[in-house]
Amino acid sequence: MNCADRYGSYGTVGFCIEERTGTEIVIRDFMLSCRVQGKLLERALFQHVVESHNRDGLRRVLVNFRKTARNKPAQLVLESLGFRPVEGATGQAAGMELQQPEWPQWGVIRVQCACLVGPLASEDTVHHTQ
């Protein structure tokens, strides 16, 4: 993910690797630089994934997340978006999930996504956030 605003470019600030299972969208890896956290890019990215790369209409998003002191900023961002912890089969945290996301209608951040592999291989542009 690259980011720029009216003052200039932040360069490459993150990435997202996702897949779909039968019932959910799974974010296997997600990284966002602390330089741009809180600028609503994370909200625009998740909204884009749910609305634009989701032919099956899946409404559950699971983020592979391990709770650690170092991951506290990421946890706060996910919680601010409505994600809640879920447990795995052994009682250990399996990640964070978002059920039935509702996104406001926004219009300032442009998400341009290049899917490099799989059935969704394409490039598209969507406008999101406030």
Cα 50 to Cα 44: distance, rounded to the nearest angstrom: 10
**pLDDT, one tens digit for every residue, the chain (130 residues):** 888 888 888 888 888 888 888 788 888 888 888 888 777 788 888 888 877 767 777 778 888 888 889 888 888 888 888 888 887 655 445 688 887 666 656 555 666 666 555 544 444 444 444 4
CA distances from 39 to 5, 19, 81 (A): 10, 25, 13
pLDDT the model gives residue 113: 60
Cβ(107)–Cβ(69) below 8 Å: no
The reported pLDDT for the residue numbered 116 is 53
Question: What pLDDT, on a 0 to 100 scale, did the predictor assign at position 125?
Answer: 44
Query: Which domains are delineated in the chain?
Result: 2-104 (3.40.630.30)
Predicted local confidence at residue 121, as pLDDT: 47
Enter the pTM of the model: 0.70
Q: In the prediction, which pLDDT does 110 show?
A: 63
Q: What is the pLDDT of residue 128?
A: 43
What whole-number distance in Å separates Cα of residue 36 and Cα of residue 42? 9
